[in-house]
Structure 1
Amino acid sequence: MTLRAGLLGLGVMGRNHARVLSSLDGVEFVGAFDPAPSVPDRVHDRPVLQDLDQLLELGIDYAVVAAPTASHLEMGTRLANAGVHAIIEKPVASTAEDSRALRDIFAARGLVGGVGHIERYNPALRAARQRIEDGLLGEIYQIATRRQGPFPGRIADVGVIKDLATHDIDLTAWVAQQEYVSVNARTTFRSGRPHEDMVTAVGTLSGGAIVSHIVNWLTPFKERITIVTGEKGVLVADTLTADLSFYENGRIQVAWDPGEFRGVSEGDSTRFALDRKEPLLAEHEAFRDSVLSGKAKGIVTFAEGTRVVEIAEQLVADGLDRRIR
């Protein structure tokens, strides 16, 4: 069966989605919707339409929503009412309330809804999760992430927490297979925008691991690092280069006087060879397969995406509450 897919939004991510959809096995890319006057008439030899109803009239099985976050609820609702499955770029909606509304309407109509948390498909993080499941680290003690870079001009309707830190919230819980049970944050507003542009967040997971996230739009270089520390060593994932390394605790026991601190020593290190499939392609393949089977498998569900937004809103509120007045 060949699925017919449409695209909503032709910004930076939308153009990447169009590229993948145009060559995705088992999928026919039928066209895109974007009302902006600057968009081309066609993309990958498919029409770009000014009215969403025109796209729906072409007959689509599912759609990718890569429009501004503020429009996610309206567009997602229209797709659901038309019986169209949807994968929506993260965050799933602007607010937790809107996210829950999308979650519920898709569930009520028996439609597959997915969220574009693309880091789950990064080869380094997928390999890290598998090795954690295999027991490479033993018990997880701590997960620390750093996601820094220059301000992206395309973002206008949310702050750095909902735009960037949502990646770290989702990937941390997913890699560890634990839920967040508490979070706190410190935020700053340095660029003259109404939304926060820098956050330092900490939290605790259900298995006892502690987490920290350093995220900002005010660094003149890009950094995407996840460090997972466990009882047997440390995994370091760089999602910019899709590299994964393991630093093992030393096998030689180093003991101090009784009553003194006993720590770890430096052991072997390994840089893993990984299958570097493009994360966006892997994301699309998983969503395509979920639509074909009618069951969400290997995707970030609307329920999971909603929980991420709920945690993000707690961080935003906590950061505001703790500012010195």
Structure 2
Amino acid sequence: MTSLRAGLVGVGMMGRHHGRLLRDVEGVELVAVADPGGDPHRVATGLPVYSHVSELIDAGIDMAVVAIPTRFHADAAFELAEAGVHTLVEKPIADDSTVGRRIAETFAARGLVGAVGHVERFNPALQQLRTRLEAGDLGDLYQIATRRQSTFPGRIGDVGVAKDLGTHDVDLTAWVARSTYESVSAQTAFKSGRSHEDMIAITGRLGNGMVVNHLINWLSPMKERVTVVTGERGTFIADTATGDLTFFANGTAALEWESVSAFRGVSEGDVTRFAFAKKEPLKAELEAFRDAIKGEDTELSTMAEAVHTLEVVEAALESADRSGAVVSLGEAARS
């Protein structure tokens, strides 16, 4: 079978990982890269290094990965769509949802695979979590809470923590719960002297009624990537930094200590840490991109889904500007 010819736009922090893994994806041949800054990290290693997307297109590519700063996503995506190239754009899809929607509509109109790199969908812990939730292991679902915090990444200069990290949590929550967002409320903080927020706390409700909560910052000396899902039968905790999934079951034995029982509401039961195979999420995402081009169903974030994710984050930032007022997604779209 003829391999898909792939091009890589951007060879910075994320681009270098894409370049490494594209070489290992069966049925895909990385043929060239494009970056106006050249290739200081030697990602290309024997491949042509171009300055412009147009040169990459002229090399005859079938698919492309766009891993450049957010403010340049739209120009690259539109040029690749015009050339008929299936494209995966790193998240967020664009600077704002209006432009993102135009990108999504352009790829759809041309019948091209347009995807966005919400890689957490391919984290083994979250994939296991969603499988177990769909099997009914937790019963009715009540709440999803995420925590994503770490030190400030010097590579990010054009967006705040909400669009850079918050988009991960919004997308994975909607994907795990199989529901879109209905409304959000948020508070932000600016502690590092930048024009963009470096801390955000979001509370929201999904269309299926679930309550959600996201705590995100660039101000912590330790790295945390945790998703907590609470339901009728207990709580799942997915640690996406390690790929681990743990289940805390509600107890079945009645507590004899009456005051403790009344306070807790449920009793503590067994704790199970699951063992399962763990593939590198980014490689799994690139394999899914290949499969989508071949016409297979995948768990890739579509561009339309990525637009909704960006709309949710924009609504959260609007809420913060309005002192935490609740913003409905319909209201955010109209504004």
- For residues 79 and 66 of structure 2, the distance between their equivalents in structure 1, rounded to whole angstroms, comes to 11
**Correspondence for 2:308:** 307
Counterpart-to-counterpart distance in 2, 1:139 and 1:87? 34
Q: CA deviation at 1:41?
A: 7.0
Aligned residue runs from structure 1 range 136-285, under 5 A: 136-254=137-255, 263-285=265-287
Asked whether the 8 Å contact 1:41–1:49 carries over to 2, the reply is no
Q: Deviations over 1:56-102 (max 9, x none)?
A: 11100010000000011100000000000100000011100110010
Q: What amino acid is the match of 1:20?
A: L
Provide Cα deviations, 1:104-140, integer angstroms capped at 9, x if missing partner: 1001111000000010000000000000001111111
Residues of 2 paired with 1:320 and 1:143: CA distance?
A: 24
* Contact 2:115–2:302 (Cα < 8 Å) also in 1: yes
1:121-180 CA-to-partner distances (Å, cap 9, x unmatched) read 000000000000011111111111000000000001111000001000000111111221
Q: Percent identity?
A: 51
Would the alpha carbon gap of residues 254 and 179 (structure 1) be closer, same or farther in structure 2, given more than 3 Å must change?
farther
Residue in 1 that maps onto 2:332: none
> What is the alpha-carbon distance in structure 1 between the residues aligned to residue 279 and residue 41 of structure 2?
29
For the residues of structure 2 that align with 1:189 and 1:261, how far apart are their CA atoms? 37
Q: CA deviation at 1:253?
A: 3.8
Where structure 2 has 5 or more consecutive residues not aligned to the other structure, the ranges are: 325-335
Verify: 1:96 aligned to 2:108, yes or no.
no
For structure 1, the 5+ residue unaligned runs are none
Structure 1 window deviating more from structure 2 (51-60 vs 278-287): it is: 51-60
Q: Is the 8 A contact 2:226 2:237 kept in 1?
A: yes
Whole-angstrom CA distance in 2 between matches of 1:83 and 1:128: 36
Conservation of the 8 A alpha-carbon contact between 1:137 and 1:232:
yes
C-alpha distance after superposition, 1:241-290 (max 9, x if no partner): 00000000001245969xx7782100001000021000001000101010
- Mapped to 1, the partners of 2:147 and 2:317 lie a distance apart of 18
1:51, CA displacement in angstroms? 2.3
For the residue of structure 1 that corresponds to 2:112, the secondary structure is: coil
Aligned to 1:318: 319
Task: Tell me the CA shift for residue 297 of structure 1.
Answer: 2.7
State the Cα distance separating 1:196 from its structure 2 match. 0.7
Q: Does 1:113 align with 2:100?
A: no
Structure 1 runs, 4 residues or longer, greater than 4 Å off = 254-257
User: What is aligned with 1:133?
Assistant: 134
Change (3 A) 1:147 1:122: same
SS in structure 2 opposite 1:204? strand
TM superposition shift of 1:42? 6.2
Distance 1:154 1:80 in 2: 27
* Aligned with residue 286 of structure 1, among 288, 297, 310: 288
C-alpha contact 2:20 2:43 (8 A) present in aligned 1: no
Looking at structure 2, the residues matched to 75 and 136 of structure 1 have their Cα atoms a distance apart, in angstroms, of: 43
Offset at residue 298 of structure 1 (A): 2.1
- Distance between the aligned counterparts of 2:215 and 2:43, measured in 1? 40
- For the pair 1:3 / 2:1, whether they are aligned, the reply is no
CA offsets, 1:29-55, max 9 Å, x none? Answer: 001000015636761321211122211
SS of structure 2 residue aligned to 1:28: strand
C-alpha contact 2:81 2:110 (8 A) present in aligned 1: yes
Cα distance in structure 2, aligned partners of 1:274 and 1:266? 25
Give the RMSD, CA atoms, in angstroms. 1.7
The equivalent of 1:65 in structure 2 is 66
Contact in 1 for aligned 2:16/2:43 (Cα 8 Å): no
TM-score, normalized by length of structure 2? Answer: 0.92
* Whole-angstrom CA distance in 2 between matches of 1:246 and 1:280: 25
**Residues 22 and 44 in structure 1, CA contact (< 8 A), matched pair in contact too:** no
C-alpha distance in structure 1 between counterparts of 2:272 and 2:254, whole Å = 20
- Residues 296 and 79 from structure 1, CA distance in 2 versus in 1: closer, same or farther, beyond 3 angstroms? farther
Distance 1:271 1:42 in 2: 38
TM-score (norm 1): 0.95
> How far apart in 2 are the matches of 1:297 and 1:100?
21
